[in-house]
Amino acid sequence: MTLRVLIAGGGIAGLTAALACVKAGFNVQVFERADALSEIGAGIQIGPNAARVMNAVGVGDALAKVSSVPDYQEMRLGQINQNIFRSKLGTYATQKYGAPYYLVHRADFIDVLGDVLNAKAPDALKLGKSVTGYENTANGVKLGFADGSYVAGDVLIGADGIHSTLREAMFGPEKPRFTGNVVWRAMLPATSELKRLIPNSMCIWVGPEKHCVTYWLRDGKTLNFVGAVERDGWTQESWVEPGPKQDFVADFGGWCEPISAVVDAAKDCTRWALFDRDPMPEWTDGNAALIGDACHPMLPFLAQGAAMGIEDAWVIVQSLARAGGNIPAALLRYKEMRHPRTSKVQNAARARMHSNHERSLLGQLKTYAPMWWTSRISPSRFDARYDWLYKTDVVAESVANFGEA
Out of 101, 134, 215, 386, pick the active-site residue: 215
Residue 379: the pLDDT is: 92
Q: Cα 299 to the chain's mean position, in Å?
A: 10
pLDDT score, position 364: 93
Instruction: Determine the pLDDT at residue 42.
Output: 85
Helix (H) or strand (E) holding 114: helix 106-120
What secondary structure letter does DSSP report for 324? Answer: T
Kindly state the helix (H) or strand (E) to which residue 88 belongs, with its residue range.
strand 82-88
- At 109, which amino acid appears? F
Strand partners, 184: 227, 271
Contact 37, 107 (CB under 8 A): no
Task: Please name the residues in contact with 224: beta carbons below 8 A apart, sequence gap of 6 or more.
Answer: 42, 43, 103, 105, 185, 187, 213, 214, 215, 216, 217
Task: Note the pLDDT of residue 242.
Answer: 74
Answer yes or no: are the C-beta atoms of 233 and 180 closer than 8 Å. Answer: no
Instruction: Identify which of 93, 34, 146 has the alpha carbon closest to the alpha carbon of residue 386.
Output: 93
Q: Label residues 326-364 b or e (16+ Cβ within 10 Å = b).
A: ebbebbbbbbebbbebbbebbebbbebbeebbbeeeeeb
Instruction: Provide the pLDDT for residue 268.
Output: 86
Q: Give pTM, 2 decimals.
A: 0.95
**Residues 6 or more apart from 45 whose CB is under 8 A from it?**
101, 102, 103, 202, 215, 303, 306, 307
Quote the Cα angle for 54-350-390, to 5°: 30
Question: Can you give the pLDDT of all 405 residues of the chain as single tens digits?
Answer: 689 999 999 999 999 999 999 999 999 999 999 888 776 668 999 999 999 999 999 999 999 999 999 999 999 999 999 999 999 999 999 999 999 999 999 999 999 999 999 999 999 999 999 999 999 999 999 999 999 999 999 999 999 998 899 999 999 988 788 888 999 999 999 999 999 999 999 999 999 999 999 999 999 999 999 999 998 766 666 656 778 899 999 999 999 999 999 999 999 889 888 888 888 899 999 999 999 999 998 899 999 999 999 999 999 999 999 988 899 999 999 999 999 999 999 999 988 888 999 999 999 999 999 999 999 999 999 999 999 999 999 999 887 677 665
Widest CA span in the chain: 64
**Closest Cα to residue 393, out of 97, 179, 43, 148?**
97
Beta-bridge partners for 228? 183, 211
Rounded Cα distance between 199 and 70, Å, is 9
The answer to whether residue 102 is catalytic is no
pLDDT score for 235: 63
Q: List, in sequence order, every beta strand (DSSP E) within 258-316.
A: 270-276, 284-285, 288-290
Domains of the chain, start order: 4-68+105-175+277-353 (3.50.50.60)
pLDDT of residue 257: 97
pLDDT value of residue 65: 96
Residue 142: what pLDDT? 97
